[in-house]
Amino acid sequence: MLLEAFLKLQTDERDEPEVVIEGKDEVLCGDLARFVAVLKPDSSCWSITWQKRRGKVTETIDTSTKKFSGNAPGVSFENTENKKDGTERYVVTIQSVPSPLFVQWSSKGKNEDVYTPIDCNEEDYKGTLNTIPHPVLVVKKSHHENYNYQIEVTNFFGCTVKQISGLIINIIRQKKEHQFLLKEMGCDELYSQCIKYASTNKALCYFENSPDDGYTNVQFHIQGDLNDYTKERIEHIVEVVADILGCETQEIVYMYYIVAL
């Protein structure tokens, strides 16, 4: 498929400018093509209209439509995995047309202002990948206390930057039945977001503290007064909790409840 691009120049009795159209001469059907019009000397004085021609038919292109426009990359949190070696593995999905030109994980200390690119070859980040469309971040759990993390994805149309907490909050809002936080994360800001969402959407969320007595201590937020819950409703909550924690319902022991303020 040969794609031809034309410029309509409104000269207003001025000398026509020098025009250069940068882009591929031929594009296969289904592929993305990007053209750039370079006008000299003063491009701001000219009105430009892109057109396409098929055979003898010429049509003006509406560059505001999605078909002929592009956006900065979409970045979404896919999942997290707690590894036995004390690390956490974050997987992100990138949606981008055109394909990203640049993908980078970065970190900064809690008291620092600037993010620094992560070296995937460092031992502390072994397993981290800047690959497309599923970049992966692997960090030690203990690092969450001292560092913040973000991913930066750039294409022709812009740059998208997402922090780990922001990515997780997005996935929290997508869940309808129950919301849950990363185990032992200890992030008060993220927990407050869960509570806020659960309170307004009649959802279930939980926060898991570090085990200190041989048990896994888990705090859940539920709507209403537990004393008003039927036996069947409580059993359903226990089943959801067991599903979240990956255990059997008989392994769950109810200890106490605290009224939310």
Residues 157 and 82 in one domain: yes
Whether pLDDT at 257 is above 70: no
Q: What amino acid occupies position 58?
A: T
Last residue of a domain, one of 116, 147, 167: 167
Residues 94 and 163 in one domain: yes
End-to-end CA distance of the chain: 65
- Contact call for residues 73 and 160 (beta carbons, < 8 A): yes
Q: Which two tokens stand for residue 231?
A: 């036996």
Confidence of residue 129 (pLDDT cuts 50, 70, 90): very high
Q: Is residue 23 part of a domain?
A: yes
The string of pLDDT tens digits covering residues 161-220 is 988 764 554 554 454 444 444 444 455 665 666 666 666 655 556 555 555 555 666 666
What domain count does the chain have? 3
Residues 78 and 163 in one domain: yes
Residues 188 and 233 in one domain: yes
What does DSSP assign to residue 112?
A: -
Residue 206 pairs with which residues in a beta bridge?
A: 180, 220
Q: Span 115-137, mean pLDDT?
A: 91
Which pLDDT belongs to residue 156?
78
Cβ-based neighbours of 154, under 8 Å, separated by 6 or more: 73, 100, 101, 102, 103, 160
Instruction: Calculate what percentage of the chain has a pLDDT beyond 90.
Output: 10
The string of pLDDT tens digits covering residues 21-38 is 777 666 666 566 677 777
Least confident window among 75-89, 107-121, 145-159 = 75-89
Which pLDDT belongs to residue 46?
64
Which pLDDT belongs to residue 117?
94
Q: What is the largest CA-CA distance in the chain?
A: 86
pTM of the model: 0.47
Higher pLDDT, 15 or 211: 15
Residues 158 and 78 in one domain: yes
Residue 21 sits at φ, ψ, to 5 deg, of -105, 115
Domain of 160, CATH number, reads 2.60.40.10
DSSP one-letter string for 207-254: EEPPPSSSS--EEEE-SS-GGG--HHHHHHHHHHHHHHHTS-GGG---
Closest to 183 (Cα-Cα) out of 160, 222, 217: 217
Residues 78 and 161 in one domain: yes
194: domain range? 176-251
Q: Give me the helix-helix angle, 188-201 and 164-174, nearest 10°.
A: 20
Most confident of 31-45, 68-82, 87-101, 211-225: 87-101
Q: Is residue 220 part of a domain?
A: yes
Whether pLDDT at 49 is above 50: yes
Residues 219 and 162 in one domain: no
Residues 223 and 182 in one domain: yes
Whether pLDDT at 102 is above 50: yes
Q: Is residue 258 part of a domain?
A: no
88 by Cβ neighbours in 10 Å (0-12 / 13-18 / 19+) ranks as buried
Sign of the alpha-carbon torsion through 72, 73, 74, 77: negative
Closest to 202 (Cα-Cα) out of 229, 184, 170, 183: 229
Q: What amino acid occupies position 259?
A: V
Residues 154 and 92 in one domain: yes
Inter-residue long-range contacts of 122-129, CB under 8 Å, 24+ positions, other chains counted = 127/87, 127/89
Q: Is residue 1 part of a domain?
A: no
Say whether 164 sits in a helix, a strand or coil. Answer: helix
